[in-house]
Amino acid sequence: MKGLFKNYKRLNLKNRFVMAPMTRCLCDRKGMPSRKLENYYLRRARLGFGLIVVESAAVNPYDAMGYMNGLQFHSKKHLKYWKGLIKKIKKNRTKVIIQLFHAGRLTVKKISKTTLAPSSLKPFNQSSFWRPNYKNSIVHFQTKTKFGKPKKISINQADTILNQFEKSCEYAMQAGFDGVEIHGAHGYLIHSFNSKETNKRLDKLKAHNFQFSIDLVKRCKKIIKDKILSYRLSIHMVDNSYIKYSSRNYDIPKLVRKLDQYGVNVFHCSELKAGTELFDSKKTLTQIVRAVTKKTIISCGNVLEGKQIKKIFKLGSNLIAFGRMSMVYPDLVLRFKNKKKINKRFTYDKWQKYN
């Protein structure tokens, strides 16, 4: 537990508490945060988090959005808004980066005009909070509409999206963010390029070439230079939580080596339960990543207690990210410090009430 309160010199953080990116759907139609969302981030900065990773921000309003009233970050208006909020956040000696993402096939037409993916494959058929079973069909939790079959993304379309990520990185630097995080997890577009489960291509964008992720990292690194460049990884997907780990389908060590080489300096490992072995594996995601890189690792996933935290640090993690617990408890850092009770039972059912 004491390790959480130590500063982290490599990233110049006052402690090792990370506020994980949690989609709140508290923006207007143009992706501008509401006052409630602004206060949500400010409270957690004031109450002690060392690093805040701002929730998934769509890099365009056409095919990247995954949620109604979700965050967007691709215009000068977005830049101008965040510039003011970042100044307020940094008064607390809290660093802040923004997670940039593209929903890929995990969206619906009522939210994104077009649904794009590496291959024209419908999402898996698993239900969850985000994808409830409604009238015997898996639907989007907000629109109650079915997930359709995505269009296979063309080389030109892929390049356009890379340009959009690059532009969002430029805006992020102008706004004053301490870096960006690329959302390469949970089955969204970038993750789906890297897994043979979701990418059946035979061209240069085939799964284990990792070309889309490599090109993306190169472009982002060129823009942000010595700022934080984080890349979020996971095995599980929004539409398949219990997917088994297989290096034949998703060669994470190879991917991490490539991204390390091209400039990623933080690997954000998202797991269903941090410190737990992956399905069909004897290792955790943190262990798999640590074996092939010396870069900073953030571990995230249902982190609840001291024993678990100690284990995660021993497995090779440098920082611990709290998602649902940071949403429920703005004062989570102080609660750990003062050994106050933390309710470990929490479901998404009441998620919108937390601020």
Q: So what's the pLDDT on residue 306?
A: 85
What is the percentage of the chain residues whose pLDDT exceeds 90? Answer: 91
Rounded Cα distance between 52 and 179, Å, is 11
Q: So what's the pLDDT on residue 101?
A: 98
Rounded Cα distance between 142 and 57, Å, is 18
Asked if pLDDT for residue 348 goes beyond 90, the answer is no
Q: Name 48's Cβ contacts closer than 8 Å, sequence gap at least 6.
A: 15, 17, 331, 332, 333, 334, 337
Rounded Cα distance between 40 and 25, Å, is 12
Rounded Cα distance between 276 and 143, Å, is 34
Q: Strand 137-138 vs strand 133-134: parallel, antiparallel, or unpaired? A: antiparallel
Q: What are the two backbone dihedrals, phi and then psi, of residue 223, each rounded to the nearest 5 degrees?
A: -80, -50
Provide the CATH number for the domain around residue 339: 3.20.20.70
Rounded Cα distance between 16 and 118, Å, is 36
Query: What is the span of the domain harbouring residue 170?
Result: 2-353
Instruction: Assign 210 to helix, strand or coil.
Output: coil
Confidence of residue 242 (pLDDT cuts 50, 70, 90): very high
Sign of CA dihedral 84, 91, 296, 347: negative
Query: How far apart, in Å, are the Cα atoms of 146 and each of 77, 108, 129, 159, 275?
Result: 32, 7, 14, 28, 34
Q: Strand 296-300 vs strand 319-322: parallel, antiparallel, or unpaired? A: parallel
Asked if pLDDT for residue 304 goes beyond 60, the answer is yes
Q: Which two tokens stand for residue 224?
A: 């942000």
Rounded Cα distance between 128 and 254, Å, is 30
Total domains present in the chain: 1
HSE, CB side, 13 Å, CA atoms: give it for residue 140. Answer: 19
pLDDT digits (tens, 9 = 90+) for 1-40: 678 999 999 999 999 999 999 999 999 999 999 999 999 9
Q: Which residues of 236-262 are buried (b: 16+ CB within 10 A; e: fewer)?
A: bbbbbbebebbeebbbbeebbebbbeb
Asked if pLDDT for residue 220 goes beyond 60, the answer is yes
Rounded Cα distance between 198 and 193, Å, is 7
Task: Report DSSP letters for 84-96, one per residue.
Answer: HHHHHHHTTT-EE
Q: So what's the pLDDT on residue 1?
A: 65
Q: Which two tokens stand for residue 281?
A: 């594996």
Q: So what's the pLDDT on residue 353?
A: 59
Q: Which two tokens stand for residue 291?
A: 């074996």
* Adjacent-strand bridge partners of 133: 138
Q: So what's the pLDDT on residue 345?
A: 64
Asked if pLDDT for residue 109 goes beyond 70, the answer is yes
pTM assigned to the model: 0.96
Work out the end-to-end distance of the chain between its first and last CA atoms, rounded to an integer number of angstroms.
26
Q: So what's the pLDDT on residue 346?
A: 59
Q: So what's the pLDDT on residue 354?
A: 60
Rounded Cα distance between 209 and 180, Å, is 23
Q: So what's the pLDDT on residue 89?
A: 97
The enclosing H or E element of 41 equals helix 35-46
- The size of the chain, in residues, is 355
Q: So what's the pLDDT on residue 111?
A: 97
pLDDT digits (tens, 9 = 90+) for 31-67: 999 999 999 999 999 999 999 999 999 999 999 999 9
